[in-house]
Structure 1
Amino acid sequence: MPQSMKKQAPDSPRNTPANLHSSDSRALVSRETVQAYLNAATSDSTRKAYRSAIRQFEKWGGRLPTDSETLVHYLLSRAESLNPRTLELHLTAIGQWHRYQGIANPVLEPLVQKTMNGIRRVHARPKQKAKALRLEHIDAMARHLRAQAESKKKYRDLALVLMGFFGAFRRGELVAIRVEDLTWEEEGLIVRLPRSKTDQTGQGLLRALPFGAKVVCPGTALRNWLDAAGIKEGSVFRAVNRWDQVQQKPLNAGAVNQLLKQLGSECGFDFVDNLSSHSFRRGLSTSAAREKVEFELIKKQGGWKSDATVWEYIEEGQRLTDNAATVLMEKLAALSEVD
């Protein structure tokens, strides 16, 4: 009998139930491990945005996998109601779905790309930017909080505002800070960020906050909050209920925006609608630029990776102080005095 026709012995190790079960278990573990690593390769916020985009496409009537003709119809139906940047996100999410399914990506078809380019040119809208908080705004909020009746929430809010501004923290970074991430030095406070938007691999970033005058010192404000709340470990910024009781769970990231809008309204700011947690980062960078702080120091404090982003903030902060028109007006004023 040819070798290929020989039946394998019943007791062969390859066919025993135990080994078959072991093989299946290894395959299952392998798939789960691969999936875990694939999930870790994309941030939670990006996955959430992609899922939302695909849900909107399916709610419209689209199905995955899809084709270029359907995508063009989708773009045309949403061109006037959605920001082009939102539509681009939808295309990216749909494209990524096809890519990881090993299916030809219809998003890359010339007709889809050309249609998207046309929508972008016709319906482009300026990107809505958060209002950059200035030093006088931080001073107004700090004064308002210090004038309030004694409460734990008062100490928390003051620490959050000063830490957020002088540390140029993102809201996700702020609420993720733990007591174990704090290092107190004679000159100030060092905060270690285990993970950040620009540090997805978890190498860790450090943010330094020197001690300053007590009324505006973020380190002092933070220490006062920790003492008032009795926090010795775990999350630094936590929810406080209506009875001024500190909760165990960390503050929700969305609560940072809510707090800023509330304080802005109470302080009488006329830009409350444009306040968000990003107002801290834009505020620190533009305020530092107006005070002629060096580029590298601004970049380091905010943990920015892109020089272009930092220069954009610097130019925004100095557009009225370093302006060609100022020199010319001074010259014209001098000529007018002579006449």
Structure 2
Amino acid sequence: MKTSTHTYDWRSEFKRLDGAYAQSTMKSYVKDVEIFVDWCAAKGLEALPADVDTVCRFLEGQAPGLAPSTVRRRLYAIRKIHRLLRLPDPTHDEDINIALRRARRAKLTRPKQAKGLTREYLEKFLAAEPDTPTGWRNRALLSLGYDLLTRRAELVALRTEDLAWRADGTLRVLIRRSKADPFGEGRIAFTSTRTRALIDDWLQWRGQNIPWLFCPIYHGKALARPLGTTTVRDIIKQAARNAELDDYVAKDFSGHSLRVGAAQDLLTMGQDTAAIMRAGGWKSVNVLGRYLESAEHNVWV
């Protein structure tokens, strides 16, 4: 059994990635490497540098309790820290590929799909929001997220300056950066007239001195910082409860539900896959396909 003979300040190496990767990605990498280093220490194995057998054992040991995508991300984190430390990289050996395939085949469950917040649910959610500053914000956020098919991170990153008021009563919105657009080329999307009216109501109360479009409210005052992505999830789940949906229905809504539901509605209305991909900024047909599965039955019956 090998023991570790090297000590590296590996956490500081990740600071070199500032600005090149999303903060959420960097946090995941740090946590994944920490898990790997601790696992190696518990097994009496050398983590940095690791050999192929150690990485394979780690991946196969992680597989039973994790989604294949999480196991793969941990492999990427191990690869990244070896490269940052300029150590021999063990992660491209064929045995690594075999270990990944074994991990994937051991987990034959389908990815859990968020329930789509379709137009039918959106109407109920908006109607159930209270006539308070929090309710005005939540109505605007739900309606805008649905219109733009946004991810949570895209929604909370929006700034007031990203909106342009159009003569036809709608808004033109610049979505500057997303998961599928790491270099910030952005995409343009448009809202309904109702969404614009809801945004106007929210901004009239919020005021003009906060750069982020959506912000927290504390003791009746708007705070000059953006909402967190988990808050978007909480708003959607609370809206489901406000609408008095059955618990077995409400529990399946998540932070992805706006994006899923809007895509399903577009398919039901006859839009093709290419148009839906453009509208939501998707790069992968496979990911979009999972979103649309439950809507396809309604199209063809």
Select the residue among 247, 264, 278 that pairs with 1:300: 278
Select the residue among 150, 157, 175 that pairs with 1:169: 150
2:175 is equivalent to residue 193 of structure 1: yes
2:214 is equivalent to residue 250 of structure 1: no
- Equivalent residue of 1:206, what SS? strand
Aligned-CA RMSD value: 2.2
Residues 119 and 250 of structure 1: CA distance in aligned 2, closer, same or farther (over 3 Å) = closer
Given that residues 147 and 190 in structure 2 are in contact (C-alpha distance below 8 angstroms), is that contact kept between their aligned partners in structure 1? no
- Note the C-alpha offset of 1:304: 2.3
Give the match for residue 217 of structure 2.
240
- Tell me the TM-score normalised to structure 2 length: 0.84
Give the match for residue 3 of structure 2.
none
Give the match for residue 187 of structure 2.
205
Q: Which amino acid aligns with 1:58?
A: V
1:41-52 aligned at under 5 Å gives the runs 41-52=20-31
Give the match for residue 180 of structure 1.
161
- Equivalent residue of 2:18, what SS? helix
Residues 111 and 265 of structure 1: CA distance in aligned 2, closer, same or farther (over 3 Å) = same
Select the residue among 210, 225, 245 that pairs with 2:202: 225
Select the residue among 245, 259, 262 that pairs with 1:284: 262
2:124 is equivalent to residue 143 of structure 1: no
Give the Cα–Cα distance (whole angstroms) in 1 for the partners of residues 270 and 108 of structure 2.
Answer: 34
Given that residues 210 and 225 in structure 2 are in contact (C-alpha distance below 8 angstroms), is that contact kept between their aligned partners in structure 1? no
- Note the C-alpha offset of 1:38: 4.6
Quick one: higher RCO (CA 8 Å, sep 6+), 1 or 2?
Answer: 2
Q: Which amino acid aligns with 1:247?
A: L
- Note the C-alpha offset of 1:257: 0.5
- Note the C-alpha offset of 1:310: 4.2
- Note the C-alpha offset of 1:308: 4.8
Point out the more displaced range, 88-97 or 98-107.
98-107
2:115 is equivalent to residue 134 of structure 1: no
Structure label with greater radius of gyration:
1
- Note the C-alpha offset of 1:195: 2.0
- Note the C-alpha offset of 1:307: 4.5
Give the match for residue 18 of structure 2.
39
Give the Cα–Cα distance (whole angstroms) in 2 for the partners of residues 73 and 246 of structure 1.
Answer: 50
Q: Which amino acid aligns with 1:56?
A: I
Deviations 1:193-248 (A, max 9, x none): 2222222222232111132xxxxx1111011000022235511101012x322111
- Note the C-alpha offset of 1:59: 2.2
- Note the C-alpha offset of 1:295: 4.1
Give the Cα–Cα distance (whole angstroms) in 2 for the partners of residues 37 and 72 of structure 1.
Answer: 27
- Note the C-alpha offset of 1:42: 2.1
Select the residue among 59, 84, 101 that pairs with 1:75: 59
Unmatched 5+ residue regions in structure 2?
1-13, 42-46
Given that residues 167 and 208 in structure 1 are in contact (C-alpha distance below 8 angstroms), is that contact kept between their aligned partners in structure 2? yes
Q: What is the aligned residue count?
A: 280
Give the Cα–Cα distance (whole angstroms) in 2 for the partners of residues 314 and 169 of structure 1.
Answer: 16
- Note the C-alpha offset of 1:66: 0.9
Point out the more displaced range, 74-83 or 192-201.
74-83
Give the match for residue 317 of structure 1.
295
Given that residues 82 and 88 in structure 2 are in contact (C-alpha distance below 8 angstroms), is that contact kept between their aligned partners in structure 1? yes
- Tell me the TM-score normalised to structure 1 length: 0.76
Give the Cα–Cα distance (whole angstroms) in 1 for the partners of residues 171 and 291 of structure 2.
Answer: 25
Give the match for residue 121 of structure 1.
105
Q: Which amino acid aligns with 1:237?
A: F
Give the match for residue 135 of structure 2.
154
1:107-118 aligned at under 5 Å gives the runs 107-118=91-102
Give the Cα–Cα distance (whole angstroms) in 1 for the partners of residues 84 and 108 of structure 2.
Answer: 30
